Amino acid sequence: MTKTPKPPPREDESAPAAEREPRDDATAQDGVPARDKLRLKRPAAADSTGAAPGKAAPRPGVRARFKADGLKPKRKPEARPPEAAPTPPAWSSAGARERLLRKEGARPAPSMPRPAREPERQRGVHVERRATAASTAARAAQPAPETSPEVVASREGVRLSKIMAERGLCSRREADGFIERGWVFVDGQRISELGTRINPDAQVWLAPEAAQRQNMQVTILLHKPVGYVSGQPEPGFEPAVALIGADNQFDKDVAQRFHHTHLRGLAPAGRLDIDSTGLLVLTQNGRIARQLIGEDSKTEKEYIVRVSGTLAADGLALLNHGLELDGHKLRHAKVEWLNDDQLRFVLREGRKRQIRRMCELVGLKVTGLKRVRIGQVKLGDLPLGQWRYLRADETF
C-alpha cells in the first residue's frame, strides 16, 4: 500500500512554540491582537551618541555646532511687509488717473484745484514790471556810449555772402556752403559762421578746396529746338535739360565724357521761349549763373529775328531806346536790319518775351527767333538738339 508523503512543515510550525512569533491575525490570551502588541513594543535603548543600535549618529544641528565653537549663529533678517504703491499726486494727469480708476472699477475723484495766486505776489510782480519799465526808459534816455569804427563796421557791415556774390567769387547759395565748410578768408582770418558781416572794403578770398569744387562744376551749351521749355516744365512739353545725355554730346571725341553727376544741380542761366531756338546755357556754377542773369548783369545777348508787318516811322529808333515794358524803361539796345525781313537784336537784359513785345509796340510780328551769342560765347556750328561743354578757353 502506497503512503502519501506528508507536506513539509511550515516555517512557523517547525520552530518551537516559545520562539514562534504570533501571526498578524492571531489573538493573545488577553484579547489584544499580536500586531498591536508589536506596535506597542518599546524600541531598543539608544547608545550614548543618541543613535539607535545599527544606525549612524545624527549630524549635530547648526546651532549645536556654533555653540560648541563659542559662536552665535546669525539671525535671519525679518521679513518686511511689502511697501504699498505710492499714491499718485493730485496734480498728475487727470486722464491717466481716470483710466486707472476706471480699470480698477472705482470712480475718479475730483482733481485738486491749483492754489490761487496770493494778492501780495501779484502786487509784487506788477511792481517789479513797473520798475523794469522805468529802468529801461532811463537807459534809453541816456546818451549812447561812443564805439570804435571797427565795432560799428562789424555790427553794421555787409553780409559776407552778398559781398562774395557781388565780386563774382560765387553765388550767394554757394557762398553759404563755402562759409559753413570754413573755405572763406577775410583779411587773413577764416570765417565759418553764417550771417557774418564784414567791412565792404575787406579782402576776401577762397580756400583751394573751394576753387577745386568750382572747377569740378560743368557748364553746358545747348542748341535748343522749338517745343522745349528752358525752365520749369509745362504740361505737354519737355524741359530742355532732357536733351542732355551721352547720345546728344557733340564734343565727345575732344572733351570729357558725360556723367550722370553733371545733371545734379544743372539749371538754365537765362530764358529762351518755347517757340524760340538757339543757344541755351545750363550750368552748375552759381558764379556763371549770376554773371548771366543777375540783376546787375551787363552780358550781351545777340538774336536773329524774322519779322513780318510794317515798321512804324520811328520804330527802329524806339527799338534801340525809348520803349517801356510793365512800367519799366528798357535799357539801351542795338537793333538793325539784316535784310528785308530779318533784324539783329543785341540786348543787355532779358525780360519775359521781351523781343516779341518790343516788336509789337512798333507794328511788327515775330515769326522766328534764334539766339546766336551770349557774351563772347557763340552758337557756332553746334547742331540743333545737341550740346557741348564750355571749354576752358571760353568766357562769357
Regarding whether 344 and 229 lie in a shared domain, the answer is no
Regarding whether 395 and 250 lie in a shared domain, the answer is yes
Query: Which of 127-131, 157-161, 228-232 is the least confident region?
Result: 127-131
Q: What is the DSSP code string of 313-367? A: TTHHHHHHTT-EETTEEPPP-EEEESSSSEEEEEES---TTHHHHHHHHTTEEEE
Tell me which residue of 216, 215, 209 sits closest to 183, measured CA to CA. 209
Regarding whether 336 and 195 lie in a shared domain, the answer is no
Residues 6+ apart with CB under 8 A from 40: none
Domain that holds residue 342: 300-374
Does 5 reside within a domain?
Answer: no
Q: Write the pLDDT tens digit of every residue in 153-183.
A: 445 688 998 888 888 788 788 888 889 989 9
Regarding whether 392 and 266 lie in a shared domain, the answer is yes
Q: Which of 214, 248, 283 is the last residue of a domain?
A: 214
Regarding whether 231 and 179 lie in a shared domain, the answer is no
- Rounded to the nearest integer, the mean pLDDT of the chain is 76
Residue 232, φ and ψ in degrees, nearest 5: -65, 140
Question: Is residue 146 very low, low, confident or very high in pLDDT (cuts 50, 70, 90)?
Answer: very low
Does 73 reside within a domain?
Answer: no
Over residues 310-338, the mean pLDDT reads 92
Regarding whether 368 and 328 lie in a shared domain, the answer is yes
Query: Which of 31-35, 245-249, 381-385 is the least confident region?
Result: 31-35
* CATH number of the domain within which 359 lies: 3.30.70.1560
- What pLDDT score does 144 carry? 47
Over residues 340-356, the mean pLDDT reads 93
Query: Which of helix, strand or coil describes residue 164?
Result: helix
Active-site residue flag, 273? yes
Q: Between 109 and 202, where is the model more confident? A: 202
Does 237 reside within a domain?
Answer: yes
Q: How far apart are the first and last CA of the chain?
A: 156
Percent of the chain with pLDDT over 90: 33
Does 306 reside within a domain?
Answer: yes
Residue 379 has pLDDT above 80, yes or no: yes
Regarding whether 233 and 289 lie in a shared domain, the answer is yes
Does 200 reside within a domain?
Answer: yes
Regarding whether 385 and 268 lie in a shared domain, the answer is yes
d(CA 335, CA 349): 14
- What pLDDT score does 213 carry? 81
Regarding whether 307 and 294 lie in a shared domain, the answer is no
Query: Which of helix, strand or coil describes residue 267?
Result: strand
* CATH number of the domain within which 209 lies: 3.10.290.10
Q: Write the pLDDT tens digit of every residue in 115-126.
A: 555 444 444 444
Over residues 283-307, the mean pLDDT reads 88
* CATH number of the domain within which 232 lies: 3.30.70.580
Does 130 reside within a domain?
Answer: no
Residue 134 has pLDDT above 60, yes or no: no
Regarding whether 271 and 388 lie in a shared domain, the answer is yes
Q: Write the pLDDT tens digit of every residue in 251-288.
A: 988 888 898 889 888 889 988 999 999 999 999 888 88
Does 221 reside within a domain?
Answer: yes
Provide the number of structural domains found in the chain: 3
Q: Which of 183, 214, 245 is the last residue of a domain?
A: 214
The separation between CA 9 and the C-alpha centre of its own chain, rounded to angstroms, equals 107
Q: Between 323 and 58, where is the model more confident? A: 323
Over residues 376-388, the mean pLDDT reads 95
Does 201 reside within a domain?
Answer: yes
Tell me which residue of 202, 199, 197 sits closest to 159, measured CA to CA. 197
Per mean pLDDT, which of 69-73, 137-141, 291-295 is the most reliable?
291-295
**Catalytic hit among 12, 201, 253, 273:** 273
Q: Write the pLDDT tens digit of every residue in 61-80.
A: 656 666 666 665 566 666 66
Regarding whether 342 and 235 lie in a shared domain, the answer is no
Regarding whether 389 and 255 lie in a shared domain, the answer is yes
Per mean pLDDT, which of 62-71, 87-96, 289-298 is the most reliable?
289-298
d(CA 196, CA 167): 17
Give the three cell numbers for residue 189. 582770418
Residue 46 has pLDDT above 90, yes or no: no
Question: Is residue 296 very low, low, confident or very high in pLDDT (cuts 50, 70, 90)?
Answer: confident
d(CA 336, CA 346): 9
Q: Which of 198, 214, 230 is the last residue of a domain?
A: 214
